RNA sequence: UGGGGUAUAGCCAAGUUGGUAAGGCAGCGGGUUUUGAUCCCGCCAUUCGUUGGUUCGAGUCCAGCUACCCCAGCCA
């Protein structure tokens, strides 16, 4: 797609420019470090585009690293899904995917180094006792009674921890820093805990696992990461990041920089909440088209390019933000507007019978696949006496603003003839089921010869050759802009986020999709084939509707 | 006076040696149009959280104030 030509500029790229100019680095190495405990979402896409985008633009490299230090929450299915999503977005990581668990041996050795230096100790205090000794935001903490244990003893105790001689919660390894630090994370943080859990990478090899703050900085250093980019909530942790790097024997000194995470209106972007939506069945799964996950957006019909463009447009800063859905929608519309071939589908059909069109007759009309791009070619459109039209495109009477079919008035059938509504047939409830009309045979590809102006154009599907189809229309998942701010976010789920319609689609639309992934069903929106489709029943997801200025007037 | 951060339009966001407020989204007018789409043209911050100060000149420098976000997991 036509992405904005200029490379993004942001404070992180400016830091890199300075580092390069000052000779602090001669190459740039970044990394994208998800924990494999859930699916990637649009917020991760921001980080992915930042990290991989910088690597691309500076001719550096970007690693994919699974931050897998908590086996209790992680699973191999997530690592596979994450790899797929990053690749689908169009990025290539350097070498093989890395795992923090690749470094467990080294991490363990560094922990021992800290112990040797008198900078770490095994603490047998209960978790409650540790919490009390930590102090509060305004009061300093107090030292643990185990804080002055000798390095020799600590060495032995850590070995016993590692050998499985202590149970979970019985003891942990802590860095000896400063219980009075204004940074809570510096008050002797736990760096290793006992956990008897199966690890998806290391199996049963370990029963002690390093904590994030100890692991991340060392993993960065081992991989030679130059700029370690993460979100704002880790700003305090940077002090611990630097402390660890300074106090162990490692040459590389990666630097951490923090940017604000993405917030999107009318959805949630925290793994905890997304997991809850899936587990409690509020959505059909991680790839439910209403989900802000990469998998959900993909199934919804979003293209990789549209998501990359979105990330480019929102920028990277340290400001808290709440981006409007309209921003995301504009990106996919821009992409699909140029890339998607046009077709016609009727989602809520009523029948239109052309009384002066011979019953036995039918013909094949030609329609351009794109109104402003001849290179996309054309298709044939079967046409016969009975066609389906949209129920909302007909009214028995209407004012002049209604540019569609009205009794005794004319309208153009898109790519076909001008028709005039003559009479209607209704069901028991009074709903119009059939409109009878006449057509003007001399209006194919031209205006009426007598100069009559026909302003309206409606879409249709041939009654003989149209294919039955199911259409799934989506609305925002929540009915408040910031559901995460609610105490019970589940209660603000939009009950009408999914609408299913049964209608017809023109026969040129088949299971095999165009290159961009979908079509524009003219006057309706962009759609893609859903995986629930069968040979008998096509199922379409509406990716996004067309911009609809009429809807505003009509209200 | 715990500490760490952030304040530029409805939303996102440029603005980096102080020189007179980019761009995008949304919105509003108008034109083209066999999609009420697209496309095109025009409009949309006398003002940068706030109050003072320095200066010929301040979104940019200084001081005070205010608002919001993050931190007291053996989660990341």
pLDDT tens digit sequence for A341-351: 999 999 999 99
CA distance A418 to A455: 10
Query: pLDDT category, A553, cuts 50, 70, 90?
Result: confident
Query: pLDDT category, A130, cuts 50, 70, 90?
Result: very high
pLDDT per residue as tens digits for the range A247-289: 999 999 999 999 999 999 999 999 999 999 999 999 999 999 9
Residue A484 CA and nucleotide B69 C1' are separated, in Å, by 14
Q: What is the CATH number of domain A11-98+213-327?
A: 3.40.50.620
Q: What mean pLDDT is predicted for residues A94-99?
A: 98
pLDDT at A432 over 50: yes
| Chain B bases near protein Cβ (<7 Å) | 2-8, 10-16, 23-28, 33-39, 68-76
CATH of A348-459, one of 2.40.240.10, 3.60.15.10, 3.10.290.10, 3.40.50.2300: 2.40.240.10
Instruction: Give the SS3 label for residue A65.
Output: strand
Does the annotation place A41 within a ligand binding site? yes
Residue spans of the domains in chain A: they are 11-98+213-327, 104-211, 348-459, 468-554
CA distance A188 to A149: 14
pLDDT at A2 over 90: no
CA distance A295 to A40: 8
Which residue has the least CA–C1' distance to nucleotide B10?
Answer: A324
Does the annotation place A47 within a ligand binding site? yes
pLDDT at A552 over 90: no
Catalytic residues of A: 35, 261, 271
Q: Tell me, what's the pLDDT at A551?
A: 83
pLDDT per residue as tens digits for the range A317-353: 999 999 999 999 999 999 999 999 999 999 999 999 9
Average pLDDT, chain A: 96
Query: In the numeric block, which tokens belong to residue A412?
Result: 């153009």
CATH of A104-211, one of 3.30.365.10, 3.30.360.10, 3.90.800.10, 3.40.50.720: 3.90.800.10
**What string of H, E and C letters represents the secondary structure of A17-45?**
HHHHHCCCCCCCEEEECCCCCCCCEHHHH
Shortest-distance nucleotide from A316 CA to C1': B13
Domain A468-554: which CATH class? Answer: mainly beta
Does the annotation place A212 within a ligand binding site? yes
Q: What mean pLDDT is predicted for residues A534-538?
A: 92
Q: How far is CA A76 from CA A39, A68, A103, in A?
A: 11, 10, 18
Q: What is the pTM assigned to this prediction?
A: 0.97
Is residue A336 within a helix (H) or strand (E), and if so which, with residue range? Answer: helix A325-339
Query: In the numeric block, which tokens belong to residue A424?
Result: 């209607």
Shortest-distance nucleotide from A401 CA to C1': B36
pLDDT at A55 over 80: yes
Query: In the numeric block, which tokens belong to residue A525?
Result: 């929106």
Q: Tell me, what's the pLDDT at A511?
A: 84
Q: What mean pLDDT is predicted for residues A129-156?
A: 98
Q: Tell me, what's the pLDDT at A6?
A: 62
Q: Answer whether A348-459 and A468-554 agree in fold.
A: yes
């Amino acid at each position: 797609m036509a992405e904005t030509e200029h490379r993004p500029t942001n404070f992180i790229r400016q830091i890199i420019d300075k580092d390069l100019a000052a000779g602090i680095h001669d190459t740039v190495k970044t990394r994208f470090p998800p924990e494999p405990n859930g699916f990637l979402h649009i917020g991760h896409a921001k980080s992915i585009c930042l990290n991989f985008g910088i690597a691309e633009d500076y001719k550096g490299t970007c690693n994919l690293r699974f931050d897998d230090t908590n086996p209790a929450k992680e699973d191999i299915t997530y690592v596979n899904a994450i790899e797929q999503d990053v690749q689908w977005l169009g990025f290539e990581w350097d070498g093989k995917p890395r795992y923090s668990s690749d470094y467990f041996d080294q991490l363990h050795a560094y922990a021992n180094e800290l112990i040797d230096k008198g900078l770490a100790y095994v603490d047998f205090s209960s978790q409650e006792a540790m919490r009390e000794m930590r102090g509060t935001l305004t009061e300093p903490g107090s030292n643990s009674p185990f804080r002055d244990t000798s390095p020799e003893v600590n060495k032995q105790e850590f070995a016993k921890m590692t050998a499985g001689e202590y149970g979970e919660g019985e003891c942990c390894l802590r860095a000896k820093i400063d219980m009075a630090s204004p940074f809570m994370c510096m008050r002797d943080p736990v760096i290793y805990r006992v956990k008897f859990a199966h690890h998806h990478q290391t199996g049963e090899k370990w029963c002690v696992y390093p904590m994030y703050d100890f692991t991340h900085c060392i993993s960065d250093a081992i991989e030679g990461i130059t700029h370690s980019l993460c979100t704002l909530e880790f700003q305090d942790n940077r002090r611990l990041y630097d402390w660890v790097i300074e106090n162990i024997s490692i040459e590389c000194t990666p630097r951490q920089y923090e940017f604000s995470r993405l917030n999107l209106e009318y959805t949630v972007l925290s793994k905890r909440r997304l997991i809850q939506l899936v587990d409690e069945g509020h959505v059909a799964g991680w790839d439910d088209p209403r989900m802000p996950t990469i998998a959900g957006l993909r199934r919804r019909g979003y293209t990789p390019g549209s998501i990359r463009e979105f990330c480019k447009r929102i920028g990277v800063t340290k400001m808290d933000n709440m981006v409007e859905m309209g921003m995301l929608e504009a990106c996919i519309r821009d992409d699909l507007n140029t890339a998607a071939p046009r077709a016609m589908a009727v989602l809520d059909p009523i029948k239109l019978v052309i009384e002066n069109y011979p019953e036995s007759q039918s013909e094949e009309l030609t329609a351009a696949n794109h109104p402003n791009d001849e290179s996309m070619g054309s298709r044939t459109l079967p046409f016969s006496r009975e066609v389906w039209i949209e129920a909302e495109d007909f009214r028995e009477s209407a004012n002049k603003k209604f540019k569609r079919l009205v009794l005794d008035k004319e309208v153009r059938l898109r790519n076909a003839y001008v028709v005039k509504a003559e009479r209607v047939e209704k069901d028991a409830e009074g709903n119009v089921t059939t409109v009878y009309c006449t057509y003007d045979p001399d209006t194919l590809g031209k205006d009426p010869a007598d100069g009559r102006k026909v302003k309206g154009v409606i879409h249709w599907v041939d009654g003989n050759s149209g294919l039955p189809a199911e259409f799934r229309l989506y609305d925002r998942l929540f009915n408040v802009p910031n559901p995460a701010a609610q105490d019970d976010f589940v209660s603000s789920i939009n009950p009408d986020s999914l609408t299913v319609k049964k209608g017809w689609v023109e026969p040129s639309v088949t299971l095999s999709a165009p290159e961009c992934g979908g079509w524009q069903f003219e006057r309706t929106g962009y759609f893609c084939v859903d995986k629930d489709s069968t040979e008998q029943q096509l199922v379409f997801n509406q990716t996004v509707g067309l911009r609809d200025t009429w809807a505003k007037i009509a209200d």
